[in-house]
Structure 1
Amino acid sequence: MGRTDSIDRRRVVAGAAGTLLALALRPAAAAQPRTETTESAIRRFAGDNPIRPGRVSLDLPPLVDNGNTVPLTVSVESPMTPADHVRRIGVFNEKNPQPNVVTLHLRPGAGRAQVATRIRLADTQRITAIAEMSDGSYWSASADAIVTLAACLEG
């Protein structure tokens, strides 16, 4: 290695360290404003159809240390046959900038109506999962999560 290689690496490391320091020292950013209400997002998903509690299970930790990566599992009681299956699952929140976290489309060939992922939570809030069944009915479950370190901040 020559002397110029060492200097170039030092400059890169120093530049990266400076960028990280500048990001760490900037003032805390305010959360983005909501794009729509949770109720309007749910109505956009389900229309005017009644949403009944049941058939949906929502597994979410009740206490979340870090809102940047929150495990979430949604499962729906369904045989997943062509005659009786889950068409869609929508997950909604109360306080993130966008109330619709995710919409998942399923088909009978999925085998099981269960999904697991990680989501971001801006603050302590209620999460609601709604399943649209092949017969046009809608079922739901909700869970509350207390978030100690918020996510979804813009800055």
Structure 2
Amino acid sequence: MQCSVSSGSSLSFLWMNGSFPVTTSSRVQITNGNSTLAITNVTRYDSGPFSCYAFNPVSNGTSGPVNFTISYGPDSMALTVNGSSGTSFPVGSNLTLLCSANSSPPAQLQWAFRGNLMNSTGTMLELFQVTQDQSGPYTCLAFNNITNVNNRITKDIIISSKFLCFSK
């Protein structure tokens, strides 16, 4: 990014990321009298908003903010069943599986059961009045169409019969 002003002399420049000054590092270089900001090996945390503050003893001004769209993921996936990490449920339960993935843009989510794609997409899969034959691995598949990255998380769910114990 290059910062320039239409007029003025003895100018100084300061780059800001939000309300914090940008500092140099192995990835961040500020050159040309601090008027140029270069970032290499961009990460998801380099999105901005970046602005340039130009000043001299007489006046000052700040550029408008610049935000970058940085695509990443999907990663850091999580899969919960009924809001917990549990994996064993009794026959007849209603189950809500929730899947999440860190991704920009948001990942496309697809569900699979025992390795076969289900006709269900999105963050939530609902199963009602489950039976024992619904035991097995449930997989949430995530895809980011910009990064072309696929990721998955699987949870093996056990649906067990209700056992009644009688004592004499």
* TM-score over 0.5 (shorter chain): no
Q: Which structure has more helix as a fraction of its residues?
A: 1
* TM-score normalised by L of structure 1: 0.43
**Quick one: higher RCO (CA 8 Å, sep 6+), 1 or 2?**
1
Higher-strand-fraction structure: 2
Larger radius of gyration: 2
